[in-house]
Amino acid sequence: MTTRLNPDLTRPETRGLSRWQVLSWQVSGLALILAIWWLVTDILKLYPPYVFPGPKAVWTEISYGLWGTGPQDGKLLAAIAGSLRRVLTGYLVAVVLGGLTGLLMGAWLPLRATLGAYLTGLQSIPSIAFVPFAILFFGLNERAVLFVVILEGFIPVALAVSGALLNVPPALRIAGRTLGARGLALTWRVLLPASVPNLLTGLRTAWSFAWRALVGGELLIAGAKSLGEQLEVGRNTANVALVLSTIIIIGLIGGLFDSLLRAVETRVRRDYGLEVTQ
């Protein structure tokens, strides 16, 4: 018989706190940040509004950008849609290509020893460093952005898949071979199912890399409706409120998708018996 603990208790950073305690601390922290922000900008007026606007000005920019009815309103919503379309397309391509490459690396150790070392080196390069190459190769267009997103998502997926396959307990390999599984059958029926928890961790890492690469690429390759374009518009028009509102939206979307993937990962780890339950 197993009994369940609150999933939050199984995470090192929240162990010992209930779900509601974690939520209350997070809400209190957000309220404290907003209070300090409001105190510095609207009460003490340490900075002029055109340098560091207050929470109200940023919220006004967000509301105009998301559901405003003026001729220039609603652009933030269109930018979110454009960026999400771009990152989801690049992320799915990266998962497919990275998954296949990881399978080959996991099945053939010489390939992992060579290509794996190169991918590990490439992973240490910031995504923004690939943007000039993408511009020269593809031009100032959407393909250059997708290239950077795919590259940044592809590497962690490939490394995660190959690493997960190699880290499958030897007992499972032996059991699979004893039951007659060989080659692709062993990989498909034994190794991949046993690797799912580690694969999900790689997918979550790939999402973070792809999302950050998208914003960096869009920032330099403006033109299409995108969050990067909104940052550029804010910079060119000295609209700091627009810049801050776009940064907040980028953080919220990135955090939301990461939370969704983390929830799936936690659920799968629990089903695999890797999370502490009672």
User: Which of 6-15, 182-191, 208-217 is modeled with the greatest confidence?
Assistant: 208-217
Task: State the Cα–Cα distance between residues 258 and 136, nearest whole angstrom.
Answer: 32
Q: Give me 112's structure tokens.
A: 């992992």
Task: State the Cα–Cα distance between residues 262 and 195, nearest whole angstrom.
Answer: 16
pLDDT digits over 145-175, tens only? 999 999 999 999 999 999 888 888 888 888 8
pLDDT in the model for residue 3: 41
Which distant-in-sequence residues (6+ apart) come within 8 Å of 182 by Cβ?
Answer: none
Does pLDDT of 77 surpass 70? yes
Q: Give me 229's structure tokens.
A: 């374009």
pLDDT in the model for residue 222: 59
Domain 67-272 is of which CATH architecture?
A: Orthogonal Bundle (1.10)
Confidence of residue 84 (pLDDT cuts 50, 70, 90): very high
Mean pLDDT of the 37-52 span: 91
Residue 244 sits at the vertex; the CA angle it makes with 241 and 250, to the nearest 5 degrees, is 140
List phi, psi (to 5°) of 111: -65, -40
**Percent of the chain scoring above 70 in pLDDT:** 90
Which distant-in-sequence residues (6+ apart) come within 8 Å of 163 by Cβ?
Answer: 106, 198, 202
Mean pLDDT of the 136-141 span: 88
Confidence of residue 53 (pLDDT cuts 50, 70, 90): very high
pLDDT in the model for residue 216: 85
Does pLDDT of 224 surpass 70? no
Task: State the Cα–Cα distance between residues 111 and 129, nearest whole angstrom.
Answer: 26
Does pLDDT of 28 surpass 70? yes
Mean pLDDT of the 111-121 span: 89
pLDDT in the model for residue 244: 94
Confidence of residue 65 (pLDDT cuts 50, 70, 90): confident
Q: Give me 72's structure tokens.
A: 């220039």
Chain centre distance of CA 206: 6
Question: Higher confidence at residue 275 or residue 60?
Answer: 60
Query: What's the alpha-carbon Rg for the chain, to the nearest Å?
Result: 23
Min mean pLDDT across 5-19, 115-129, 212-226 is at 5-19
pLDDT digits over 171-212, tens only? 888 888 888 777 778 888 888 888 888 888 889 999 999 999
Q: Give me 206's structure tokens.
A: 């790939």
Domain boundaries, the chain: 67-272
Does pLDDT of 272 surpass 90? no
